[in-house]
Amino acid sequence: MDKVVLRNYDVLEGEVVRVSDTAIRLQNPETMEVREIPRSEVARILYQNGEVMDLTSGVSQSQSAKKMAQTSDGINRHDYFFLRALWGYGISMLETAKSPVESAGAFSNIVGLQLGGSIVPGHALFVEFTSNGAYLPTEPKSIMGYGGFGIGYSWYLMPSNIHFDVALSRTVWFIEYDEKDIYGNTIKFSTGLGTGIMLSVGKEWFVSKNWGFGLAAYAQFGSLPGNGYTLEESAQTGYYDAGSVSWQSFGLVATATYN
């Protein structure tokens, strides 16, 4: 049978009965039903006799046939298993209710891992694990960070391989000061679990059959409650109640995706 490759890399099979300036007519040889596909949605046609009709510019027939074979085998196509690692730098800003540092901003390190699968080609659901850490040049000097886990959705715009991502997470925040309390313990504050949201947009380039590397703009926002610890509980856990905390983080990350 003939094969029609769409610009989103989906492949339709049947008998091409007509190619016009506006549409491709594809007939199902079993039901004889004819489907009309807008020409603007079609990248190429691979006829049963081996002839290739390329409807995009600047691509040779041999390249078109190669891409046809790749997409038929799931190569350079976002389907099935989804794995993405990301790492980069950004700026984190926070406001706290009880911590000695009421507000601050600093350069931070962003690390994340997304693991899931495609529900349909180009659309993936994933579980995300993320962390962010920063050194605050304040008085007293301190280290802050947060970590979270949640669920997200990624959409790839093909064939440009641009992705848009969103995730909701449960997040906890902490800050550790370079000072001791009256008991000789390092002063540390933390929050309870709160809600965070991640937004990103990026571009990737395939470097092998299933691996793509790229860059993405990355943003996180969160609002977290205090941990509610009493002084006795703080003495046991080593963390004081930071009260409510709001934070934002904006950065640029490198991505490595297997899909």
For the entire predicted model, the pTM comes to 0.66
Domain that residue 32 falls in: 2-72
User: Last residue of some domain: 72, 90, 106?
Assistant: 72
Rg over CA atoms, the chain: 26
Q: Map residue 70 onto helix, strand or coil.
A: helix
162 and 184 belong to one structural domain: yes
Position 238, amino acid: G
Q: CB-side exposure of 139: number of CA atoms within 13 Å?
A: 0
Total of domains in the chain: 2
Residuewise pLDDT in 10s, the chain (259 residues): 899 999 888 899 999 999 988 999 999 888 889 999 999 999 989 988 888 888 875 444 444 445 444 444 455 678 789 999 999 999 888 777 665 556 667 888 999 999 999 998 889 999 999 998 888 766 667 788 888 999 999 999 988 899 999 999 999 888 887 777 766 777 788 888 889 999 999 999 999 888 999 999 999 998 888 888 887 787 777 788 877 888 889 999 999 999 8
End position of a domain, from candidates 72, 93, 118: 72
Please check whether residues 109 and 209 belong to one and the same domain: yes
User: Do residues 125 and 248 share a domain?
Assistant: yes
Cβ partners under 8 Å of residue 23, min gap 6: 36, 37, 38, 39
